[in-house]
Each structure stands twice: as C-alpha cells, then as structure tokens.
Structure 1
C-alpha cells in the first residue's frame, strides 16, 4: 500500500484538498494583469544627475579659465586635473540626464 501524499504547508492529506476548475471563458487570464501601472518619477536620480551635470560644467569652466591664464598664471599643470575630473563628472551627469529623459518619454 502506498502512503498518501500530504500538503507540506498545511499538513492536509492530498485526498482531502478541494480543487475547482477554471472557467473556460477567460482562458486563465484576468483584466488586471494587463493594466499598466502608473510609473513613479525617480526624483532622487534626476536630482543626482542634475548635480553631476552642474558640478562637471563648473569644473570644466574652472579648468578652462586656469588653462587660459585668467585665474592663475602659474601654468597649465593645475588646469588638467580640473579638466579631467570635470569631463568625467560632466559625462556621467549628461548620460544620466539623457537616460532619465528617455525613460520618461517611454513610460
């Protein structure tokens, strides 16, 4: 004789579980699963992207003024770190602003 199966979550033997057939008209789908939920606007990500963009722009401007000799006439060796870091931060901010704009258009 084979032992009867039990539902492990409740401990009820499988012979006592009640099953019901799905209706044949809905094919197992409900309308709620196709409803598009409203998208949330990522305010923190947009604020961070704007800050990165502005800081990068500021550093590029400072680096350019140092390189041109308007701020300090001591040489271009101080300008290159500003330009490199400013360019990296500017590109990150621009990229994220661009992605956020695309996501808002798509959603």
Structure 2
C-alpha cells in the first residue's frame, strides 16, 4: 500500500479498495518510510473537528495600572546615569579638574553612566508615551516590581 497527497492536500491511499472514503487508517511506517514504527493514525472527519468560538471580549484588554515604582526607578536611573556620563565626559575632555578625582575613574564613570542611562531613558520614554496615549504603547510594556 503506498500513500500520496491528493491535489486537495489530504492524505489518500492509492492502490487499495479501502482507499475510498470513511476514516482512513495509516501506519506511520507508510508515511515515514521505515518499518520500525507501528503507531497508527486516523484521519479526523470534518464534523468531528471543533468549531472555534470567538468573542469580541477576548481581544479587549483590561486597563493596565501604572507601575509607579518602576517609573520612579527609571527616573532615578536616568538622572544618575546622565550625571555620571556628563561628569565622566567632562573629566575626559579636561573641563573638570581631576585633582579631586583620580584619573583612573574616568572610564568606569562613563561606562556605569551609560549602563544606567540607556534603560532608564528607554523606560521613561515608554511611560511617557503610554501616559500620553500613543497607540502601541502601554504600561504593560514596563516591568512591574510590586
């Protein structure tokens, strides 16, 4: 018994009398080409398939609450990151006297400032866009630490 795919896309049996209608039983060895697997598969009729039920309520989301702790943390990261970046860049360019700061603290200050600045500003931006009601922005996009 050989199997094939009909133009409609479903599996049909060829060359047997049992290949005409009804539930068709196919062996996995026929499909996969190996005789070691003996699992049996049955074709499900159209009337046995469940009909999906859709409701317009499943596409509506509940109003999200404002994650104030996360927003305050993002503001803190933005402010401290901006301060560290600015101070590090001014020390590197020579505009700030390095008598008060050891010169080996410049690059760590810039790197730490960038690490704090980037996520802080990103989350403040998302919070502002969600607050102003821009489409595609929601307070659900900000992690909540409650």
TM range (shorter): 0.5 to 0.7
With normalisation by structure 1, the TM-score equals 0.57
Alpha carbons of structure 1 residues 39 and 76: separation in structure 2 relative to 1, 3 Å: same
With normalisation by structure 2, the TM-score equals 0.43
Q: Is the helix fraction higher in 1 or 2?
A: 1
Does the alignment pair 1:79 with 2:79?
Answer: no
After TM superposition, give the deviation of residue 76 of structure 1 in Å. 4.8
Query: Tell me, which stretches of 5 or more residues in structure 2 are unaligned?
Result: 1-52, 139-146
Does the alignment pair 1:64 with 2:89?
Answer: yes
| Larger RCO: 1 or 2 (CA < 8 Å, sep 6+) | 1
Q: Is the strand fraction higher in 1 or 2?
A: 2
Higher Cα radius of gyration? 2
Of the three residues 77, 95, 112, the one matched with 1:52 is 77
Query: Tell me, which stretches of 5 or more residues in structure 1 are unaligned?
Result: 1-26
